[in-house]
Each structure stands twice: as C-alpha cells, then as structure tokens.
Amino acid sequence: MAIATDMLPAFATFALIGSITPGGSTLFSSSSGSRFGMRRSLPLLTGLVTGFTLLTAIAAVGMGALLHSVDALRTAVKVAGSIYLLWLAYHIATSGAPDVSSSTAATPPAFRTGVVFNLLNPKAWTVVVSATAAYASLTSNTALFAMIFVVVWAICCTIACIAWCAGGHALARVLKTERHWRIVNGALGVLLALTIIPMWLE
C-alpha cells in the first residue's frame, strides 16, 4: 500500500495546470462569473466539479484496475498518454487569448448543466484517462489510487472553476494583448510538458 511520494508533486502540478489552463470548464466558469457574478454562478460551478469528480472516479476505478493487471497495456497507454500530453502542452503553449464573448440567456446555467457538460467533455476524458495511465504507479492499491486520484483532481478542478469565475473578467483586463496571453500560456505549456518526466523515471 506504499505511495510513490516522489510522483505526487508532478501529478498535482499536472492536475492543477490541466485544470486551470483555458478550456471548456474554465471558460464556462469565467463567462458565467462575468455575466452573473460568483453567487449566481455557484450552481454551475458545483455542477462542473461534480461532473468532473464523477468522471475521474470512473476512470480511476476502471482504468486503474485494468492497467495494473496488464503491464503491456499500461506501457502502451503510457506512450499514447505521453504523446497526447506533449501535444496538449504544445497546444496550450501556442494558444492565444480565450474567447469568452459568446452570448448567453438571462438565467445562469443550472447545476445539471455543469454535470452533463463535464461528463460529455471529450478533452476532460482524454486528459483524465491519460493521467490515469501516466500516474498509475502512485500506488499498487487500486482503492487508494482512486481516492488520491479523485481527491487531487476534485481540489484542482474546484480551484480552477472558482478562480476563473471570480477572476476571468479581471484577467481579461490584465492580459490586454495576444502577446500577453501567449507568454502566460507558453510558460504553462512548458510546465505541463515537464510533468511527463517523472512517469518515465519510475
């Protein structure tokens, strides 16, 4: 039941960067916060976190057990996951300013909207399944792995949604140009790519 504590910082860093960089949930949170404020956006934020937590639990329990029982599959998925994570890091590093100017209805998005949004979010599924394979060596105990995996992702998703909801409008004012966004995203992309290294040093 030992935990590979040397991999925890890399995993937490990956989860936080993967959660807080511009994407579906963060832009949804940001646009809702700028239009409806923090209090009226709470149902959406709660739904987004709930949906993502359910997603990580499904991936951790199912994929974790399968990957632990089939070494060849774990290696194959790790390779595929590394390739995807590098592609994602490149995509983040070369992306510009996010677009949060889409029109919305007068009513804030509901809790169920957030849950369904993340359960059907293909990017979220791809990142989580890749991370399941990449960090499966955190512990050989499937239940403990699922608990760590779900808790870390849930905390990071919560931080990201709240931060983007509360600060999305302010961030848009601070990062005024495309160049500003590219500098920030470039740094985040490099950090994301670096989180791949520990999984190959185990």
Whether the pLDDT of residue 114 is over 80: the answer is yes
Higher pLDDT, 182 or 95: 182
Which of the four pLDDT bands, split at 50, 70 and 90, describes residue 105?
Answer: very low
Question: If you average pLDDT over each of 50-59, 103-112, 186-195, which comes out highest?
Answer: 50-59
Percent of the chain with pLDDT over 70: 80
The terminus-to-terminus CA distance of the chain in angstroms comes to 16
SS3 content of the chain, % helix, strand, coil (to 5): 80, 0, 20
Write down the pLDDT at residue 112. 92
- pLDDT, one tens digit per residue, over 17-48 is 888 887 778 878 877 777 777 888 899 999 99
Write down the pLDDT at residue 54. 92
Q: For the whole prediction, is pTM greater than 0.85?
A: no
Which of the four pLDDT bands, split at 50, 70 and 90, describes residue 163?
Answer: very high
* Cβ-proximal residues to 111 (8 Å cutoff; 6+ apart), any chain: 43, 44, 46, 47, 50
Query: By the 8 A CB rule, do 193 and 87 touch?
Result: no
Whether the pLDDT of residue 55 is over 70: the answer is yes
What is the average per-residue pLDDT within 131-155? 84
Tokens 């992306």 found at: 95
All structural domains of the chain with their residue ranges? 50-100+108-200
